Amino acid sequence: MKLIVLLIIGVILYFIARGYKTEKFENIKLDIKEKFDGDLMNHEAGLLIALMAKVAKADGQVSELEAQMLKHTFTDISQHFENSEEIREKLKEIYKKEKESFDNTILICEKLYKITKHDYAKRVKILEYLLNLAYIDQEFSQTEFMIAEDIATALQIKKADFENLVNKFENFYREQKANQALSLEKAYEILESNPTDDSNTLKKNYRKLVKQHHPDIVAGQGASEDIIEQATKKLQEINEAYELIKKSKGI
């Protein structure tokens, strides 16, 4: 399918991972859309979706981020076919069916291997894409690891390459969590609050700070333009800090 999977991997990883370094495949051009009327389970597009279904359901549930990534994938793949709407619906049907059982995972991998037998780099990129799906909720369960490892083995991915990909994702999300923790710590500092404060205390602190730094109130006190500008920036920081804390606490 004229490197369609490689293109999808580059685009989706760029938007979903938001910073995970991967190739953009800028030189790949798909000028001709494919017309396909056969069984998509004999096509690498359908086989990719089938494996995504296994990985997404590996830990027993499909997270919101996983569902979003799947939705984008259905759309992106189908757009490279003349009969795009029909293909999209078929891909969705494959996903619904294949997420119900893991029994045929190796069989699917064997079919995909036959199609990509002479393109090891593509198989590695497919595995990278599947691992990104597994990691996207920032939790990589033991079940997800086992399924990913089985897929890698069946696709005849070298153990070192598999471990290298896992380490890359581990490091990326570890760094992301660390940055998020630092941001949250700063947010509490801005809001003059503590992580143990309840929602009422946080709201009280927020309102107090808004009254202190609201540019309209500061202007009414006869402050200079510079002070008003500083108050405007401070208020923005307070609002952003409060929103981040609320999100972290599910308020």
Residue 104 CB coordination number (10 Å): 14
Domain end among 148, 178, 208: 178
Distance (Å, whole) CA 201 – CA 60: 37
Tokens describing residue 229: 């500008």
Clarify whether residues 217 and 162 are in a common domain: no
DSSP state of 92: H
Tokens describing residue 98: 């294949």
Clarify whether residues 102 and 226 are in a common domain: no
* Number of domains composing the chain: 2
pLDDT tens over the chain, length 251 residues: 444 444 454 444 444 444 433 333 333 333 457 778 889 999 999 999 999 999 999 988 888 888 888 888 898 888 888 889 999 999 999 999 999 999 999 999 999 999 999 999 999 999 999 998 998 887 888 999 999 999 999 999 999 999 999 999 998 888 877 777 768 888 999 999 999 999 999 999 999 998 888 877 877 788 788 888 888 888 888 988 898 898 888 88
What is the widest separation between alpha-carbon atoms in the chain? 76
Residue 186 lies in a domain: no
Distance (Å, whole) CA 13 – CA 189: 33
Note the pLDDT tens digit of each residue in 113-140.
Answer: 999 999 999 999 999 999 989 988 878 8
Which residue's structure tokens are 């500008």? Answer: 229
DSSP state of 138: S
Distance (Å, whole) CA 25 – CA 4: 11
DSSP state of 81: B
Residue 35: which of 97, 101, 80 has the closest Cα? 80
- Measuring CA to CA, how many Å separate 103 from each of 60, 100, 106, 245? 15, 9, 8, 43
Residue 75 belongs to domain spanning: 4-178
Distance (Å, whole) CA 8 – CA 222: 57
Clarify whether residues 112 and 200 are in a common domain: no
- The amino acid present at 60, given as its one-letter code, is G
Residue 184 lies in a domain: no
Distance (Å, whole) CA 214 – CA 233: 10
Clarify whether residues 108 and 199 are in a common domain: no
Clarify whether residues 105 and 213 are in a common domain: no
Residue 183 lies in a domain: no
Backbone φ/ψ region at 138: left (φ over 0), alpha (ψ -120 to 50), beta: left
Distance (Å, whole) CA 53 – CA 148: 12
Clarify whether residues 199 and 89 are in a common domain: no
Residue 31 lies in a domain: yes
- Measuring CA to CA, how many Å separate 122 from each of 1, 43, 96, 116, 176? 12, 14, 25, 7, 27
Clarify whether residues 202 and 141 are in a common domain: no
Distance (Å, whole) CA 194 – CA 192: 7
Distance (Å, whole) CA 112 – CA 123: 9
Clarify whether residues 169 and 243 are in a common domain: no
Tokens describing residue 24: 């953009």
